[in-house]
Chains A and B, each alone.
Chain A
Amino acid sequence: MAHCHGSVGLKNIPEGARKIVLVGNPNTGKSVFFNFFTGMYVDVSNYPGTTLEISHGHFGTDVIIDTPGVYGISSFNDEERIARDIILSADMAINIVDAVHLERDLFLTQQVIDTGVPVIVALNMVDEAQRQGLSIDVDLLSDLLGVPVVPTVAVQKKGLNELKERLATAKTGRMTQGLEPLINRLINRVGSRGEALLVLEGDPAVAGRHGLEPENHREDIYLKRREQVNDVVKHVLQESSQGASLGSLLGRWMIKPVTGIPILALALYAMYLVIGVFIAGTVVGVTEETIMLEKYEPAVRGLIGQFISEESALGTILIGEFGVFTMTATYILGLLMPLVIGFYLFLSLFEDSGYLPRIATLVDRLLTGVGLNGRGVIPLILGFGCVTMATITTRLLASDRERKIAVLLLGLTIPCSAQMGVIAGMLAAIGGQYVALYALIIFLVLVVIGTVLNTLLPGKPTDLLIDLPPLRLPRLDNVIKKTSTKSYHFLKEAFPLFALGALIISVFQVTGILEYLQNMLAPLTVGWLKLPKEASTAFIMGIVRRDFGAAGLADLTMAPIQIVAALITITLFVPCIASILILFKERSKSEAAMIWASSWVVAFLIGGIVSQLYSAFGGDSGSRGALWVILSFLGMTLATITACHLARRNKTQESHVGG
């Protein structure tokens, strides 16, 4: 039996405990079930060999294990591989099915049934199905699948107790037709139905474990399973057709550029009002200024200062300007936490309502130009919140090539919200054409870097293939749950990195390396960027925190063009120390080092070109100089894109000739 796989690599699972696994497609509300069964005491651990986290908790003497949301189990990505291994080792599966999305969800249900594990189905969101005019014959569904089906509305706790009471009735369901003989041929060899199924479906990893070659039946089995599922759906589902509902009409508008772009602009504007104005202004004003800087920091300085002098080396590290107890705590709790919560709140709203995959569809074309696909929009948007948080989300991108491009774009060109606050303040003071100059140049740099990477890196961008679930009003409790889980995980992951970053900088400060760097940078700042000498201090501060860098510039007296050049440089400059540390964790050491080094080069190169061009075009005559700089950059961008386009065409032609 499947028990031979033991603890599926998760810690703290007692010997002999029954393993109950929660399985479902993405966004079916699995986490609500998980919390209902396990309560507060939950273990979260990194799944071995991946960066994904898997939660498990106790339910009586049994263990409940959550799995990532997947459409099927195989080896298409990390999520599926993990779900596959957990399901193969399970004693029982609770399958959460979205009643609104029966056709899609039952494929996974049938696949889990085919693994031979006892299953109970929770038919979730039945209230919403009803509202959409879908009526589902639950008893018939249960008969056809051969497993118990319990209708639920998880967010309202409806049906959950019944599900709990009926857990023991979970049983092995009706297999996909024609599968039995195939599985029986292999079962003695591999020991369990589930493993046999995956070998038949050509899963290389499972076949490898048994020293077998993966077999070639995936497509036959998938087609038969799909046919069986369609048949089940045809029998149990009745639709009272109601024409184009507002939801489907709106869903269509979101994808068409003519209406989709204004809708997206509106959504982003709402996001800006909530996060950029309310959270970054009002909330952070209280959390960072009033609570952390005015109350907390003096208190912790006083407390620790009793034992260690603030001027000593250890004192500097603990409670100095960049101290672990002072700056790290203030930064994370006072500034980052409110912003991160705000960004995850919007992400959860977009995700839960079904808007997110539609944004991905709308912007897909733009992002394929820079080597990403529509999915890449998620880390790019989050980057405006916190680059560290966004870098973590690049995990959801399909290929390593896309992750590489996304982290580089994030590290170089996307200013995080902390920095944006300071930048926006400085730009607002000097007027419209300079704002345009700044925004356009940063955007063009993003386009050029993305296009060049897309040309130079081997391979092609992965094509978008994305499920567009029906639009719905987001469920508040779902959204809150998602936001808090994501924010908590992020802060837990980032805290040690920020602390380590602060430690490194304090050591630099104590040893005088920081001052040395500042002096070294001065000629470059004055001669090439045409900025005051003190600006180099701001850049060095930018290594620590991006907003420190920008804030350092705010104190200097500069001409408008100097401000723009300085802000462009600081935006393109190295990501903050926590982002860099997360880069070292997520990517290879050489890649992270390369990103860090190249952002020095790119930042000073572009900033310098802006300054030099401006003075070459006659300098102080205001808007004319700015216009010329913009035109030059547009020209350079077009030239690069054309060159890349030609290079790509040559490459494909060569490969055609060669092949």
Chain B
Amino acid sequence: MTLDRVKRGQLLKIMSIPDKQIRAQAIRFGIAEGELVNCEEVVPAGPVVIRKNNQLLALGRGLARQISVQCME
């Protein structure tokens, strides 16, 4: 599944972030491949907001579509 398909409240495991630059930037914010994150909010047709501890990160829809995740519940 890709990150643009998730629902609010789901616990997710980040499986892969294909883009090298984005991957590096995400690690800075503590969101790396293999990490568990919560889906905090999904703006309809818009960005997906994920949370890791106290870090909230909004990712545009196009970006979310490239990130594959696994639902942990």
Contacts and interface: CB of A to CB of B under 8 A. Distances in A.
Interface of A: 71-72, 74, 76, 100-104, 107-108, 218-219, 222-223, 226, 229-230, 251-252, 255-257, 357, 360-362, 364-365, 368, 373-374, 460-461, 463-470
18 contacts: A71-B28, A76-B21, A100-B54, A102-B54, A107-B29, A219-B27, A222-B27, A230-B30, A255-B49, A257-B43, A362-B43, A364-B58, A365-B46, A463-B60, A464-B63, A467-B55, A467-B56, A467-B57
A226 B53 CA distance: 14
B59 interface: yes
B41 A255 contact: yes
B14 to A, nearest CB: 13
A256 B43 contact: yes
B1 to A, nearest CB: 18
A252 B56 CA distance: 11
Contacts of A226: 27-28, 30, 32
A463 B59 contact: yes
A465 B25 CA distance: 9
B32 A466 contact: no
Contact of A468 (B21, B23, B27, B56): B56
A361 B60 CA distance: 8
Interface of B: 20-30, 32, 40-41, 43-47, 49, 52-63
A368 B62 contact: yes
A465 B63 contact: yes
A100 B62 CA distance: 30
Most buried by A among B23, B26, B29, B45: B29
A122 to B, nearest CB: 20
A364 B46 contact: yes
A103 B43 contact: no
B27 A223 contact: yes
Contact of A72 (B28, B53, B54, B61): B28
A257 B44 CA distance: 8
A361 B28 contact: no
Contacts of B29: 71, 104, 107, 467
Contact of B24 (A103, A222, A368, A460): A222
Contact of A103 (B25, B27, B55): B55
Contact of B47 (A219, A223, A374): A374
B63 A463 contact: yes
A218 B25 CA distance: 11
Contacts of A71: 25, 28-29
A360 B57 CA distance: 12
Given A103-B54, A467-B55, 14 more contacts: A229-B30, A252-B40, A255-B43, A257-B44, A257-B46, A361-B47, A365-B43, A365-B61, A464-B59, A464-B63, A466-B57, A467-B29, A468-B58, A470-B56
B41 A465 contact: no
Contacts of A100: 54
A76 B23 CA distance: 12
B58 A466 contact: yes
Given A226-B27, A257-B43, A468 B60 contact: no
Nearest to B65: A463
Contacts of A76: 21, 25
A252 B41 contact: yes
Contacts of B49: 255, 361, 468
